[in-house]
Amino acid sequence: MSHGPASHAPASRSGATTRLVQAVSLGLLFLLVLGATRIVPEVGSSLGTLGAIGFLLLAGTLTSELLETLGLPHLSGYLLAGIIAGPHVLHLVDHEAVDALAPVNTLALALIALAGGAELRVATLRDVGRSVAFGLLLQSAIGLVVLSGVFLLVSRYVPFVQGLPWPSLVAVALLWGTLAVSRSPSACLGVLSQTRAKGPLATYSLAFIMASDVVVVVLMACVIVGVRPLMSGGGVSMSNLRVLGHEIVGSIAVGTSLGLALAAYLRLVGKNLLLVLIGLGLGLTELMRYIHIDPLLSFLTAGFVVQNLSLQGDKLLHAVEQTSSLVFIVFFAIAGAHLDIPLLRALWPIALALASARALVTVTTARWASRVAQDAPIIRRWGWSSLVSQAGLTLGLSVVIVRTFPEFGEGFRSLVIATVALNEMVGPVLFKYALDRAGESQSAGR
């Protein structure tokens, strides 16, 4: 036993050297880009965007590696790199570059949905179906009602609802409540991918969040249809429901066809999957938007079909994992760069109150649902941990609200961004901590 510490010494020295090299490299990268932006403050060409991708990729990777020593998830590193490099701190990546990187988000969301669907195995769903069903029902119902109520309570401090009549205020609160029950598939997949966690908590979290995706998309569409009369004073239009039905059924139909085609390609050709996935993620998303099909639901369905109706699920998952590893880094770093720090500074008391209320409701309801569903102790204890994060899906839904209700949409979106910022920073840390404590992540034993 006496040689134990000695045998660890070279490894830890090598670890320290690696971290030192990473820290120096990160410093040099920041200095290089800082120097370039100081010499030429304005970028004359869109090549600045490419430089931004490269910088966010490297800085995100290095920051995440350095933060790993503190036990923080990689996502936190990507976000932090984005925040520091972004337009509100060092301004190494400007607003134009951040906006120009929108296709990366499109691609990332498509890959997230595809991977999410492919992770949903029917057998797994059967195992955790009861837990997920109870959880979804209680989280959606109680979360929607309670968090709408909390919004109404703090509404006197919310600038953009001042002067709204009571029915409109209720409408805004219901929209808020619906957004509050949305989760972050990307954060969940990101943490699971980093920790390579396996076990009941990982399975439950994945199944719950992917299923909740579908529920939230449908719920949001229903709530929008329902609250429109409260805003405009008119009645519920059946044509809106028809449009909603068309969108959902169409998305599932397109997703099924896509899934079958993908499965056939994987079986018969199975090569150049990087190009195929990029083509699908960018090209097909645009096409789906054009014909009013929800890309998220379609890709989710496609992944599900490949996993459960063919033998190609693992191949697809592996390909998506390879393609998405770089895309995710840029995706989360962009999210960090997008964080509107001045806005967060202005709205932080309300955002903090709403985020805290959401976290409290999430934890309480998840624990209650687990007890009702008689889940395993590990789920009862930590099942809530993956549900705190919010990111791209929530922001995407807030854009839909801005488009539908322009009269208050922008203010609403600002508050969503501020709240998501908090959840985005705290959520992945909690989930990784829970996976470590549950002994499911590979890093737990270290």
What is the size of the binding site for other proteins (CB under 8 A)? 45
> For residue 435, how many other CB atoms are within 10 A of its CB?
29
Nearest residue (CB) to other proteins, 228 versus 315: 315
Nearest residue (CB) to other proteins, 73 versus 427: 73
Nearest residue (CB) to other proteins, 26 versus 373: 26
Where in 35-64 is the site for other proteins (CB under 8 A)? 36-37, 39-40, 43-55, 57-58, 61-62
CB of 89 to other proteins, least distance (A): 18
Cβ-count burial 247-276 (b if 16+ within 10 Å, e if not): bbebbbebbbebbeebbebbeeeeeebeeb
Interatomic CA distance for residues 280 and 186, integer angstroms: 18
Closest to 389 measured CA to CA, from 142, 175, 125, 192: 192
SS3 content of the chain, % helix, strand, coil (to 5): 85, 0, 15
CB of 31 to other proteins, least distance (A): 10
DSSP codes joined into one string, 328-372: HHHHHHHHHHH--HHHHHHHHHHHHHHHHHHHHHHHHHHHHHHHH
CB of 270 to other proteins, least distance (A): 12
CB of 110 to other proteins, least distance (A): 13
Q: Residue 117 in contact with residue 300, Cβ under 8 Å?
A: yes
Tokens found for residue 177:
């409540």
CB of 279 to other proteins, least distance (A): 5
Q: Is 268 in the site for other proteins (CB under 8 A)?
A: no
Query: In this chain, which of 89, 164, 243, 278 binds other proteins, going by CB under 8 A?
Result: 278
Closest to 218 measured CA to CA, from 206, 228, 226: 226
Closest to 75 measured CA to CA, from 202, 204, 185, 182: 185
Query: In this chain, which of 137, 241, 276, 426 binds other proteins, going by CB under 8 A?
Result: 276
> What amino acid is encoded at 325 in this protein?
S
Q: What is the largest CA-CA distance in the chain?
A: 80
Where in 380-399 is the site for other proteins (CB under 8 A)? none
Nearest residue (CB) to other proteins, 62 versus 379: 62
Query: Does the CA dihedral 308-247-242-135 come out positive or negative?
Result: positive
Interatomic CA distance for residues 209 and 446, integer angstroms: 28
> What amino acid is encoded at 417 in this protein?
I
Where in 10-29 is the site for other proteins (CB under 8 A)? 14, 18, 21-22, 24-25, 28-29
CB of 278 to other proteins, least distance (A): 6
Nearest residue (CB) to other proteins, 64 versus 307: 64
What x-and-dash track marks residues 304-333 binding other proteins by CB under 8 A? -----------------xx--xx--x----
Residues 6+ apart with CB under 8 A from 393: 109, 182, 183, 184, 185, 186, 213, 216, 296
Nearest residue (CB) to other proteins, 27 versus 165: 27
Query: In this chain, which of 275, 311, 360, 399 binds other proteins, going by CB under 8 A?
Result: 275
Interatomic CA distance for residues 186 and 138, integer angstroms: 23
CB of 92 to other proteins, least distance (A): 11
CB of 35 to other proteins, least distance (A): 9
**Site residues, other proteins (CB under 8 A):** 14, 18, 21-22, 24-25, 28-29, 32-33, 36-37, 39-40, 43-55, 57-58, 61-62, 271-272, 275-276, 278-279, 282-283, 286, 321-322, 325-326, 329
